[in-house]
Structure 1
C-alpha cells in the first residue's frame, strides 16, 4: 500500500502534450501517401528497364519530378515516425533508446533527402 497522493503517483508519467499532434500527423501522412504512392507507381513502373535518356526525359517533367520528390519526403517521414513508435515500445535502456531514436530518424531523413536530391539532380541537370 502506498501513501502517495494521486499527484505524487503521476508526476513524470503524464502527457507530453504531443499525443494529438503525433496522431493527427500520422493520419495526414497516411492519407497523403495513398495518391502519392499511386502516382509514384504510375510514373516509375513504366521506366523499369528503360535507357538513361528515357528516364531523364521522364523526370524532366516538373509534375512527375515534384510528385516523386514529395513521395520520397512523405514516405520517409512516415517511416521515421513509425520506427519511433516501434523503438519506444521495444527498446528499454535509456542510452540505447536515445541512440536508436536519433540514428533511425537520421537514417530515414538521409535516405529521403538522398532520393529527393537524386530526382532534383535528374530534373535540373539531366
Structure 2
C-alpha cells in the first residue's frame, strides 16, 4: 500500500527527502552549540577584567582560536538553517522568498567569514 496519491505518481512528485536531513543538521548544531556557548561565555567572563595584551595572548593559543572559530562557524550555520525555515514558512511571494534566502545566506556567510578572519588575525598577528 502506497501513501502517494495516483495524481502524484502521474506527475512524478513525492517526498523531497531533504526535510529530515535539514531537521537533523539543525538539531546537531543546536546540541554542539550548548558546550561551545558555555565555553565562550566562561572565556569572555574570565577575560573581561584583563588588558588587551593578555586577551590577545589568550587568542594566540591554537586551541582558543580553533574553539572560537568552531563556535562562530556552528552558530552562523545554525542561524542560516533556522532563518531558512522561517523564510520558507512565512514568506509567501516566491520572488521575495528567493531574494530573502539569497540575501540572508550571503549576509551570514560574509559576517561569519569576517568573524573567523578576525579571530585568525588575532591568533596569528595582524
**Does 1:58 pair with 2:40?**
no
**C-alpha RMSD of the superposition:** 1.8
Aligned partners of 2:38 and 2:86: how far apart in 1?
A: 26
Uncovered stretches (5+) of structure 2, i.e. residues with no partner: none
Runs (5+) with no aligned partner, structure 1: 1-5
C-alpha contact 1:43 1:64 (8 A) present in aligned 2: no
Q: Which moved more, 1:49-58 or 1:88-97?
A: 49-58
Number of residue pairs aligned between Structure 1 and Structure 2: 121
Deviation at 1:110, TM superposition (A): 1.4
Deviation at residue 46 of structure 1 after TM alignment: 2.3
Q: 1:90, 1:13 → 2: CA distance?
A: 23
- Alpha-carbon distance in structure 1 between the residues aligned to 2:54 and 2:12: 57
Aligned residue number for residue 8 of structure 1: 7
| 1:19-58 correspondence to structure 2 within 5 Å | 19-48=19-48, 50-58=50-58
Q: In 2, Cα distance between the equivalents of 1:12 and 1:91?
A: 26
Q: Distance in 2 between matches of 1:13 and 1:83?
A: 26
Alignment partners' CA distance in 2, 1:29 and 1:58: 26
In structure 1, the residue matched to 2:79 is 79
TM-score, normalising length from structure 2?
0.86
- Distance, in Å, in 1 between the alignment partners of 2:37 and 2:70 is 10
Matched residue of 2:17: which SS? Answer: coil
Distance 1:66 1:57 in 2: 14
